[in-house]
Amino acid sequence: MKKFWKNTILSILLFFAIMFARVIHAESSLDEIKERGYIKVSTNADFDPFEYKDGDKIIGIDVDIARKLAEYMGFGIEINDVSFDALTLELSSGACDFAIAAMSYSDEKAQSVDFSDPYYNAKNVVIVPVESSIKSVDEILDKRIGVALGFTGDIYCTEHFPSADIHRYDTASDAVLDLLSGRIDAVVIDDVPARKLVNVSDGEARVVDGYLFEESYRVAVPKGEKELLDEINTSIAKMKTDGEIDKIVAQYVGVSGGESVDLIAQIYNNLVNKDRYKMILSGLATTLEITVVALFIGLLIGFTLALINVSKSKNIIMKFLKIAANFYITVIRGTPVVVQIFVIYYLIFASTGLPKLLVAMIAFGINSGAYVAEIVRGGILSVDSGQYEAGRSLGLSAGTTMKHIILPQAVKNVLSSLTGEFINLIKETSVAGFIGVMDLSRAGNIIRSQTYEPVVPLMTVALIYFVLVALLTVVFSLIERRMRSSDKR
């Protein structure tokens, strides 16, 4: 399945991980677990059906396997969801005892973690439309192939099918949607999700006989924890002979997304069934939280930078601050917010262990700050210079004049731009999902990946954003009108 596709980021993370490991790790993991009484397990609940979220519950094949493993070993369990890239870091820092996330062996990863024996053999198979003429897996080598970005299917096809036209999607279900609408000829994905995808395709897709390649899923443990690794390997072997693993897999593949043909049934399945609306609501709450906090951070940064920028001081520190402020504004306005949030999450805050919601708030605050700074600067410059002179000539200090004379007028002049920035911010927070924050957009995406029905989740999310923005627009224009008329009293 997933591979480390952000290679440079990974190496930096590893660097930190190893440093952490040196500092924190003293006692053997197994002893710690025994003392504690339960095992701490990390996964990346983003890969239906191996590990995914149902509401806020983390479930899936791997999760059940981990529970069984803990049971065999005689411990309780605590499961945490982290980003896939953070798993290595979690292991080396001792934040978890083992990681299970449909991971296969790679030399690269083996440098920082140890792998158990395989607990499951995944075959990468090919899905095609029922009526497709493709009969065997090697017929796809020059076709349009859909893969999930960064999954092993992506790596394999890129390497082995140089003449194929490879389309990369965020999730396998998105790839299957495109397959059914004829934009691509085949989808390459692990057999378990493949079976599930075909199950819910209403007989429109099928799995081609045979498989492209096989990979073994293994549990990852911190480097050098031999005792723990031995325990895990023994338990895996036992689970295999007991037939426990097959039982668990069968349970999940059998799950059908439900065949909801008409819209009412789709609405029921996507929003009501399994309390999925709760996910939308909690996503909405997260979106609002991020927006509001980011707005405050943005205003704080923005006003500070604007004041630095318009300052007439010839002080050397001020001059330096001005250059720094301009650099910040230029860089932030000159790069996409998605890239910013990645850099902030994976590079700048990687080693701090701050919750990702907080990181998202900070990232969007930093982003918004640059835009607010320019808006406010424009507002300050739009105030007649005579206002400043009148204030100063009365003996008011530069600060008082700015605060009580200039800024109130400046803000009034740019109020509509500021509210526009706020509204923009709401919509832009939709990329928070890229670092795994469950905001409104991501809630929709998760539902879509569970039901394989795109219409209702997408439209619901769109509608909520729209209503939100429309409401705010009305509220803001009322406030604006009020502020404007107040001067004419």
Partner 1 sequence: MISVKNLYKEFKQDDKILYVLNGISVDFKKGEKVAIIGPSGSGKSTFLRCINALETPTSGEIFFKERKVDSSSSEIDDIRKNIGMVFQHFNLFPHMTIFENITFAPTMLKIYSPSQAKELAMALLEKVGLKDKWNVHPSRLSGGQKQRVAIVRSLMMNPEVMLFDEPTSALDPEVVKDVIGLMIEIAKSGMTMIMVTHEMSFVRRAATRVIFMDEGKIIADTTPENFFNNCENVRISKFLNKLI
Contacts of 125 (CB under 8 A, 6+ apart): 137, 188, 189, 190, 191, 194, 207, 208, 210, 211, 212
Indicate the length of the chain as a whole number.
Answer: 489
Taking the chain, what is the end-to-end CA distance rounded to the nearest angstrom?
67
Subset of residues 55 to 94 that bind partner 1, contact rule: CB under 8 A:
none
Nearer to partner 1, 391 or 457 (CB): 391
Subset of residues 410 to 429 that bind partner 1, contact rule: CB under 8 A:
412
Distance in Å, CB of 305 to partner 1, minimum: 23
**At 453, phi and psi to the nearest 5?**
-120, 110
Proportion of the chain in helix, strand, coil states, percent, rounded to 5: 65, 15, 20
Nearer to partner 1, 182 or 395 (CB): 395
Nearer to partner 1, 204 or 384 (CB): 384
- Whether 308 and 373 have beta carbons less than 8 Å apart is answered as no
Rule CB under 8 A: say whether 352 interacts with partner 1: no
The site that binds partner 1 (CB under 8 A) totals a number of residues, namely 22
315 by DSSP, 3-state: which? coil
Q: Is the dihedral of CA 64, 66, 67, 72 positive or negative?
A: positive
Nearer to partner 1, 182 or 399 (CB): 399
Distance in Å, CB of 318 to partner 1, minimum: 13
Distance in Å, CB of 317 to partner 1, minimum: 15
How far are the Cα atoms of 170, 428, 438, 469 from residue 425, in angstroms, in the given order?
Answer: 23, 5, 16, 10
How many Cβ atoms from other residues are within 10 Å of residue 214's Cβ? 13
Stretch that binds partner 1, among 85-93, 120-128, 243-251, 404-412 (CB under 8 A): 404-412
CA atoms within 13 A on the CB side of 310: 24
Q: Is the peptide bond before 49 cis (omega within 30 degrees of 0)?
A: yes
Rule CB under 8 A: say whether 316 interacts with partner 1: no
Stretch that binds partner 1, among 247-255, 346-354, 396-404, 454-462 (CB under 8 A): 396-404
**Residue from 397, 416, 473, 477 binding partner 1 (CB under 8 A):** 397
Rule CB under 8 A: say whether 487 interacts with partner 1: yes
CA distance 477 to 483: 10
Rule CB under 8 A: say whether 318 interacts with partner 1: no
Nearer to partner 1, 149 or 396 (CB): 396
User: Which residues face 99 on adjacent strands?
Assistant: 42, 220
Distance in Å, CB of 468 to partner 1, minimum: 31
Distance in Å, CB of 393 to partner 1, minimum: 4
- Whether 325 and 372 have beta carbons less than 8 Å apart is answered as no
Stretch that binds partner 1, among 207-215, 274-282, 369-377, 403-411 (CB under 8 A): 403-411
**Residue from 158, 409, 419, 424 binding partner 1 (CB under 8 A):** 409
Distance in Å, CB of 395 to partner 1, minimum: 3
Distance in Å, CB of 383 to partner 1, minimum: 10
The identity of residue 386, as a single letter, is G
Stretch that binds partner 1, among 11-19, 114-122, 250-258, 381-389 (CB under 8 A): 381-389
Rule CB under 8 A: say whether 382 interacts with partner 1: no
Rule CB under 8 A: say whether 482 interacts with partner 1: no
Residues 42-81: b if buried by 16+ CB within 10 A, e if exposed: bbbbbbbbbbbbbeeebbbbbbbbbbbbbebbebebebeb
By DSSP bridging, strand 205-207 and strand 113-129 are antiparallel
Distance in Å, CB of 381 to partner 1, minimum: 16
How many Cβ atoms from other residues are within 10 Å of residue 462's Cβ? 12
Rule CB under 8 A: say whether 210 interacts with partner 1: no
Q: DSSP assignment, residue 218?
A: E
Distance in Å, CB of 406 to partner 1, minimum: 10
CA distance 9 to 83: 13
CA atoms within 13 A on the CB side of 120: 27
CA distance 9 to 281: 33
**Residue from 400, 416, 473, 477 binding partner 1 (CB under 8 A):** 400
**Residue from 76, 136, 408, 478 binding partner 1 (CB under 8 A):** 408
Stretch that binds partner 1, among 203-211, 386-394, 426-434, 457-465 (CB under 8 A): 386-394
Distance in Å, CB of 472 to partner 1, minimum: 24
Tokens of 21: 């490991």
Rule CB under 8 A: say whether 28 interacts with partner 1: no
Nearer to partner 1, 22 or 489 (CB): 489
Rule CB under 8 A: say whether 390 interacts with partner 1: yes
**Residue from 163, 241, 256, 486 binding partner 1 (CB under 8 A):** 486
Q: Give the interface with partner 1 as residue ranges (CB under 8 A).
A: 384, 386-387, 389-397, 400, 404-405, 408-409, 412, 486-489
